[in-house]
Amino acid sequence: MGSDQLGLQYAALCCATLMVGWLLHWVYRWVNPPCFVGKLPPGSMGFPVVGETFQLFKASPSIDIPSYYRDRLKRYGPVFKTNLVGQPLVVSLDPEFNRFIFQQEGKLFRSWYPETANNIFGKKSITTYSGTVHKFMRSFSSKLFGAESLKEVLIGELEDAMRQGFASWAARPSIEVKDSVADMIFDLVAKKMVSVEPVESRELRKNFEDFFQGMLCFPIYFPGTSFYKCMKGRKNVHKKLTGLLQDRLRTPGKKHGDLLDLLVEELGSEKPVIDEAFAIDALAALLFTSFATISATLTIGLKLLTDNPKVVETLKEEHEEILKQRGDKNSGFTWDEYKSLAFTTQVMNEINRMSNIAPGIFRKTLKDVQVNGYTIPAGWLVMISPMAVHLNPTLFEDPLKFNPWRWMTHDETKRSTQQRNFMPFGGGIRLCLGAEFSKLFISLFLHVLVTKYRWKEIKGGEVLRVAEMIIPQGYHIQLVPTTE
């Protein structure tokens, strides 16, 4: 064998050795991520690249806490490390630590999302969403979702939209609840935000369909993948919203009476706090969040109500009492009536507690954080699990039972414990901007439903749990006017 061949073989052997060494080092770093001060919480980072993503999102036929959480809670305790779609993070099932996270917003933690969600909703809009921009966005959003807007304008428009929507549903043999509710909300919100009519808004909403699946999946941009479908929908949404914004910017003096007017006004100011890219991302995020969680919550809620006729009967009694108290029988639903709905509020609380539509609440550490003798390094993601708290039997007695009456307990200790650990809309200064809108919408929905209609199951409705409750096959019902 010649010296040249020996040299090539030696070089190849060296390269292979280096590659194996690098690979082993990379795997070691994956399994044992660095923590320069203190010790990371216990847990497993899963397999390289995929982490524990598939275990985390494996659907369970039980509505109880899935085995992924239960097994790790038993093995590691309520705070543990893992890896989700290639991103290291710490999962918190600890009620006390959750409250600490909310209290330290802006000091030790800040609102954040997994990288795939950042790509979908615009990384810039999330990473710069603080300080002046945060104040602007809260003010901007309150023009539609704030209490004053809800009380003075939206309550009447919501009731009209619902009555029309219910009437159209009752004219059909059956409707799929989630899709139908989403259309109802989106038609109204899209009109208020960007002045598009239902035909356009329905087309726009179709592009949001795959957003949920794309938010917590691997960012593989290849035809057929969830992320590809999601990003294709995002592109279509942005194209539509960009066209609307550009038209408005060309005629800034022409007002349409919607939220887009406010963005155009800010962009045309001397020192705007946002740019056009941020404006588009913000509009897309608000449009998506306006319908996505409420439609899913009401779908689960209707299934729970169907299975608990005593709750429906008590709801009906409360809402019929409102009708009896009205001086003018033709008057609409009022803000005072909404605020008087004690049992309806308990029903909403119980639906939100059991459904846990948000799979997690995400925060990013700004500094090294100490918890239970461990260190969460600066820059790590933390995922709060509302489900693990809401289904904790030490906090909520018999947690798998749909029991709205639990919220009217006279036991002050129990009442305080439930209220402190109830987090359907997050917590701290980042409490969901649309919380009051969501509660008003659901209250009105139930008001029209139980006073004017009855319903029966047609097909679907099989419930699974990932972290949130889901109905993968949909829920089809027939709506029948009670006057018939």
Domains of the chain: 32-481 (1.10.630.10)
- Rounded distance between C-alpha atoms, residue 436 and residue 443, angstroms: 10
Q: What is the pLDDT along the chain (484 residues), one digit of tens a residue?
A: 556 676 666 666 777 776 766 565 455 555 667 777 889 999 998 887 778 888 888 889 999 999 999 999 999 999 999 998 888 999 999 999 999 999 998 899 988 877 777 777 776 555 445 567 777 888 888 888 888 989 998 999 999 999 999 999 999 999 999 999 999 999 999 999 999 888 888 888 888 877 766 666 777 777 878 888 888 888 898 999 999 999 999 988 888 888 899 999 999 888 888 889 889 988 888 888 888 889 999 999 999 999 999 999 999 999 999 999 987 777 899 999 999 999 999 999 999 999 988 788 999 999 999 999 999 999 999 999 999 999 999 999 999 999 999 999 888 889 999 999 999 888 766 677 788 999 999 999 999 999 999 999 999 999 999 888 999 999 999 999 996 4
- Structure token digits, residue 287: 């449009």
pTM: 0.89
Nearest to 365, CA basis, from 377, 352, 373: 377
Greatest alpha-carbon span in the chain: 106
Nearest to 401, CA basis, from 294, 297, 470, 310: 310
- Structure token digits, residue 89: 């993070």
The amino acid that residue 38 corresponds to is G
Question: Which residues carry a binding-site annotation for heme?
Answer: 432
Question: Which residues carry a binding-site annotation?
Answer: 432
Handedness of CA 189, 191, 196, 200 (dihedral sign): positive
